[in-house]
Amino acid sequence: MTTFDDRVALVTGAGSGIGRAMALAFAAAGGRVVVCDIDEDRAARTAAEIHAASGAPSNTGDRSSGKTGAPDATPDNGPNGEAVGGAVAGPNGGPNGGVGEPNGGAVGGPNGGAVGGPNGGGGGGVAVAVAADVGDEGAVAALVESAISAYGRIDALFNNAGIIDDMALPADISPELWDRVLRVNLTGTFLVTRAVLPHMLRAGRGAIVNTASEAGVRGGAAGAAYTASKHGVVGMTRSVAWAYAKDGIRCNAILPGATLTGIADGATFDPTGAARLSPVLALGDQLARPEQMADAALFLASDAASFVNGAIVPVDGGWSAG
Ligand SMILES: NC(=O)c1ccc[n+]([C@@H]2O[C@H](COP(=O)([O-])OP(=O)(O)OC[C@H]3O[C@@H](n4cnc5c(N)ncnc54)[C@H](O)[C@@H]3O)[C@@H](O)[C@H]2O)c1
């Protein structure tokens, strides 16, 4: 079994679905996780699940147990800090936010995030939650700063946060939706990668796994904005893989097929686009579980994939093979 003992992962969009599964799996394999989501409550919930899975107490620090972590953050960390299972760092928090010290205390940090008990040990169940919008450059800088403050390094980056479009065809998509989807899915991947790379370069190692989509390699699997954004993620994956191959940094992507998550909750779909796309979309009995995506992503981030770089890996049960 793959282990990530003492390794540190930053997972974006980790409050739900595939990112949540990645965060839980990485922690279960012994790693420490920075759980990032734009939704503060979701991020805190995933961090709390990680702590609960390890049996770590939710509000005490015990370094000797190797299971301290975000739970140590005190409830009065500042305007953006909350000690709910894991502490939540506000993306643009003020000077009163708490950044946890190695012994689990919460002290003010420039970016206001509340990150508790970062050095709690190498066992599983260690996580901090950080609320951040990956499409916001300032929030991303604060996110990475919080991660480094908490754990000192980032060994694995899972660029997973993403949103769907309304399945509109190219002639029908609104420029506003286009901008929003591109901003989160593509620019977000770029911004987080850009902020993390200097730390990986300094360490001389790192693994980046991007969550693209089958829509990243074909035109008929989603609306125009989503498709363009995921093609961009595939291009970015190859570019990073090529550029940093000699620096010990690998970058790969998974192409999930249709997966049982909440990504479409509340979405409204353009009827023309949806009607035209639906015949090619995966059928109900082919839906994947988020954990199946996490398994593939963790392999790519692991030493077992040490010579896998620039790979664009379908994880779709064979859907794209036909
Ligand atoms: N579910 C599928 O069928 C499917 C298929 C192919 C690819 N994907 C990709 O998988 C990734 C994860 O999606 P999911 O299906 O788990 O969806 P999900 O909605 O369950 O999870 C996505 C998470 O990302 C968070 N998020 C959204 N915008 C964000 C932002 N700007 N900054 C930080 N966090 C943000 C959301 O709050 C949510 O918790 C996405 O990139 C998606 O495009 C999903």
- How far apart CA 47 and CA 51 sit, in angstroms, is 6
Is 47 or 274 the better-scoring residue by pLDDT?
Answer: 47
Q: Per-residue pLDDT averaged across 172-197, rounded?
A: 97
Sorted by where each begins, the domain ranges of the chain are: 8-321
Please name the fold of domain 8-321: Rossmann fold (3.40.50)
Predicted confidence band of residue 1 (pLDDT cuts 50, 70, 90):
low
pLDDT tops 60 at residue 67: no
Check if the beta carbon of residue 13 is closer than 8 Å to that of residue 161.
yes
- How far apart CA 114 and CA 254 sit, in angstroms, is 31
How many angstroms separate the alpha carbon of residue 125 from the centre of ligand 1? Answer: 23
Give whole-number Cα distances, 53 to 228, 256, 298, in Å. 38, 26, 18
Instruction: Write the pLDDT tens digit of every residue in 113-158.
Output: 333 344 343 344 799 999 999 999 999 999 999 999 999 999 999 9
DSSP letters for 266-284: T----HHHHHHHGGGSPPG
- How far apart CA 276 and CA 274 sit, in angstroms, is 5
Q: Whose CA is nearest to atom 2 of ligand 1?
A: 259
- How far apart CA 235 and CA 242 sit, in angstroms, is 11
Check if the beta carbon of residue 114 is closer than 8 Å to that of residue 88.
yes
Q: Which of 22, 24, 37, 40 should be mutated for ligand 1, with most atoms under 8 A from CB? A: 37
Check if the beta carbon of residue 308 is closer than 8 Å to that of residue 33.
no
Is 1 or 235 the better-scoring residue by pLDDT?
Answer: 235
Note if 151 is an active site residue.
no
Per-residue tokens: 32 = 């420490």
Q: Measuring from each residue's beta carbon to the nearest atom of ligand 1, which residues come in under 6 Å?
A: 12-13, 15-19, 37-39, 42, 133-135, 160-163, 184, 188, 211, 213, 256, 258-259, 261-263
Is 89 or 96 the better-scoring residue by pLDDT?
Answer: 89
Q: Among 32-41, 51-60, 108-117, 124-133, name the one with the lowest average pLDDT.
A: 108-117
Instruction: Write the pLDDT tens digit of every residue in 232-289.
Output: 999 999 999 999 999 999 999 999 999 999 998 988 899 888 888 877 765 556 789 9
Q: Whose CA is nearest to atom 17 of ligand 1?
A: 263
Instruction: Record the pTM.
Output: 0.84
